């Protein structure tokens, strides 16, 4: 039997999160879909997000190192235009349908992943597929098309800790970093 205790870990991911107005609009769209469709469980309003990079279980002693790495990442602001909903049958989730994910999002994810791998962190090897989950455990879904798209101006990104409880996932913010204004015309508006 070993005298050394196993180090404490926490479940972490980097993400972008909409402001409360956008969260409310997305939550209302999801609730209408669940009420009229084939079941499922809506994501809690405060948990709506788009994952930039999932880390999984990380030793708590490494959180400050993650913050330091994030401090050195520069990326530009961007806009997401949410057109409605779509269904990912394999995973049984209803997602917000974004017509086009901008290059700035992929640049942020790539820069973060490159810096973390260089620092010795393990990152998923699969291709980045951004999505905004609205409903889990759906059996089927008829896509919703919004008359007016929801425009989400992304101005910062976060490090979040995920804890599971009897009431579902609870996210705690461990760090937040601003995105730089984009100098290209019409990049956000």
* Chain segment 103-148, per-residue pLDDT in tens: 999 999 999 999 999 999 988 888 999 999 999 988 888 888 899 9
Rounded CA-CA distance 80/57 in Å is: 29
Rounded CA-CA distance 23/150 in Å is: 10
pLDDT at 3: 54
Average pLDDT, the chain: 90
How many other β-carbons are positioned within 10 Å of the β-carbon of residue 101? 17
- CA Rg value for the chain: 18
Rounded CA-CA distance 183/9 in Å is: 40
E strands, the chain, are 9-16, 41-42, 50-59, 78-88, 93-98, 133-136, 145-154, 156-165, 168-178
Burial of 8 (0-12, 13-18, 19+ CB in 10 A): exposed
pLDDT tens-digit readout, 150-185: 999 999 999 999 998 887 889 999 999 999 997 765
Level-2 CATH architecture, domain 9-178: Alpha-Beta Complex (3.90)
Rounded CA-CA distance 36/39 in Å is: 8
pLDDT at 2: 52
Q: What pTM, to 2 d.p., does this model score? A: 0.89
Burial of 15 (0-12, 13-18, 19+ CB in 10 A): middle
pLDDT tens-digit readout, 59-76: 999 999 999 999 999 999
Rounded CA-CA distance 143/128 in Å is: 23
């Amino acid at each position: 039997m070993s005298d050394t205790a196993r180090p404490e870990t926490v479940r972490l991911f980097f993400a972008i999160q909409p402001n409360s107005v956008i969260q409310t609009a997305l939550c209302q769209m999801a609730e209408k879909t669940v009420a009229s469709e084939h079941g499922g469980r809506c994501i809690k309003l405060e948990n709506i997000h788009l994952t930039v990079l999932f880390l999984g279980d990380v030793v708590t002693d490494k959180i400050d190192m993650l913050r330091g790495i994030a401090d050195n990442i520069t990326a530009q602001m961007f806009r997401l235009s949410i057109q409605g909903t779509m269904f990912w049958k394999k995973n049984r989730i209803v997602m917000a349908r974004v017509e086009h994910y901008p290059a700035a999002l992929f640049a942020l994810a790539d820069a973060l992943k490159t810096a973390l791998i260089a620092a010795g962190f393990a990152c998923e090897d699969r291709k980045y597929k951004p999505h905004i989950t609205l409903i889990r455990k759906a059996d089927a879904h008829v896509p919703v098309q919004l008359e007016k798209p929801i425009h989400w101006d992304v101005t910062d990104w976060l490090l979040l800790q995920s804890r599971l409880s009897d009431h579902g996932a609870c996210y705690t913010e461990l760090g937040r970093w601003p995105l730089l204004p984009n100098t290209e015309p019409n990049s956000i508006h």
